[in-house]
Chains A and B, each alone.
Chain A
Amino acid sequence: MGEVELSCRAYVKMYLHACLFPRCSINGLLLSSSSAGGAVCVTDCVPLLHSHLPLAPITQLALTQVDVWCSQTQQRIVGYYQANACVSDSSPTPCALKIADKIAEQFNNAVLLMIDGGKMSPDYRVPPIVMYERKDSRWTLKDKHTIMLRQWEETRAIASQMLESGDHMLLVDFDSHLDDITKDWTNQKLNNKIAELASPANGNV
């Protein structure tokens, strides 16, 4: 029931992932580099799939690889995000609940984030996300007031700007990595671009 903070980098990458594959359901993992306890700070995300989300092998593979990378980089998997292909329905699918359950086994305060495609157009001023938390073994809607996005206006501006300039084409998700193994699913290039665009005052990126 704690607070959750979403960093600029995590939000922008999720947003660009959804924009890169507008006709597919997409999903990914939410990571944190902060220590456990207190608010959950989602500092980064790893885009995973844009096809066959319910199928097991690639998801398992991705979870394993991200786990290994996290332990090497002092991060942990703290959540899962998904955007459904059908824009009118932003409720978590059975596979989303399953993966989120798995993450919750390792991290008590795991979050499940659904991107609401219907609210992604430029005229919407609020973050197009819906968050769920685990209460009594069920995923329930999180109170909006416990979700924080620092410098939201700036984050929104960065996301729009990167979309306009076609930077979403640089994003690599795990699926793309499997199509071309040389592509970097940690998206270091994109991370650097986001950091450049964010103001120096925003220490949370």
Chain B
Amino acid sequence: MASVSELYDVGWEEMRDKLRKWREDNCRNSEQIVDVGEELISEHGSKLGDDIWIIYEQVMIAALDCSRDDLALTCLQELRKQFPDSHRVKRLSGMRLEALERYDEANKHYDAILQDDPTNTAARKRKISILKAQGKSAEAIRELNEYLEQFVGDQEAWHELSELYINEHDYGKAAFCLEELMMTNPHNHLYCEQYAEVKYTQGGLENLELSRKYFAQALRLNNRNMRALFGLYMLAGRGTKENKCSVKAVEEMLESMQITMS
């Protein structure tokens, strides 16, 4: 099998920079990270200097995502050697146990971290992730709510909570979470559009009115947001027909954008 550097004609510096970009953008393209990272570590590890530790962490998490326990363990062992008492590494050990579905042991790891440092948000969030993985949505929601009472500014947590509520069909509470996100991120078109979708799903005249407003707002923030555009058209064509999506309005819009299926 050709190596990454051969396939894409890149040098080790480009591979390292690519990994950094993916780290910064928080991408979950785990298969790619594993391919690039594994080669970078094995062939060019000595050239990376101190960067190698954060790369070990990144590759380890990606390896867990791809069920590559061999690679994950290798990275973890290197990190353990270098940072023997680190909570951050302990959390990675916990994540490995999660990947192996050894949830009780993983919880013990996180509890140990929290005893040492009760403010460790990473460990708390991992515990909530375990509840989610086990399908215990109600408990995950409860724990996440408690977490947010303490850490009100955690955007990621608010968004996770909105997703959990949506899956439980508790649209009112999902809307509340999205409102929090919109308040702190008024220029984020995605939150506006998701809020509009939730309001649409709730139904009823007031909610549909709000939905239309927020689809419009999302479009104003980003005029290429297709979901917002379609949402707006669907609501514009309504009139008195409460629950029927206006086929004609959508067809007209598609025609005006000259989108064809062929």
Contact = CB atoms under 8 A, between A and B. Distances in A.
* Chains A and B belong together in one complex: yes
B234 A55 contact: no
Nearest to A89: B135
Contact of A61 (B28, B135, B169, B250): B250
A184 interface: yes
Given A52-B166, A86-B135, A181-B259, A68 B247 contact: yes
Given A58-B197, A69-B261, A64 B247 contact: yes
B163, B234, B261 — most chain A CB neighbours (10 Å)? B261
B259 A55 contact: no
A55 B200 contact: yes
Contacts of A184: 261
Tell me whether chain B's interface is mostly helix, strand or loop, or mixed.
Answer: helix
Interface residues of A, number: 24
Contacts of B245: 60-61, 64
Interface stretch (B1-9, B56-64, B141-149, B224-232): B224-232
B89 to A, nearest CB: 24
B194 interface: yes
A24 B163 CA distance: 12
Interface in B174-206: 194, 196-198, 200-201, 203
A31 to B, nearest CB: 14
Given A61-B245, A64-B250, A65-B250, A55 B201 contact: yes
B192 to A, nearest CB: 13
Given A68-B251, A94-B169, A178-B226, A60 B197 contact: no
B231 to A, nearest CB: 5
Interface residues of B, number: 27
Contacts of A37: none
Interface in B29-59: none
Contacts of A128: none
A191 interface: no
Contacts of A60: 234, 245
Given A86-B133, A86-B135, A186-B261, A56 B200 contact: yes
A186 B196 CA distance: 27
8 nearest A-B residue pairs (beta carbon): A56-B201, A55-B197, A60-B245, A57-B200, A178-B226, A55-B201, A57-B231, A86-B135
Interface of A: 23, 52, 54-58, 60-61, 64-65, 68-69, 86, 88-89, 93-95, 178-179, 181, 184, 186
5 contacts: A54-B169, A57-B201, A57-B211, A57-B234, A178-B230
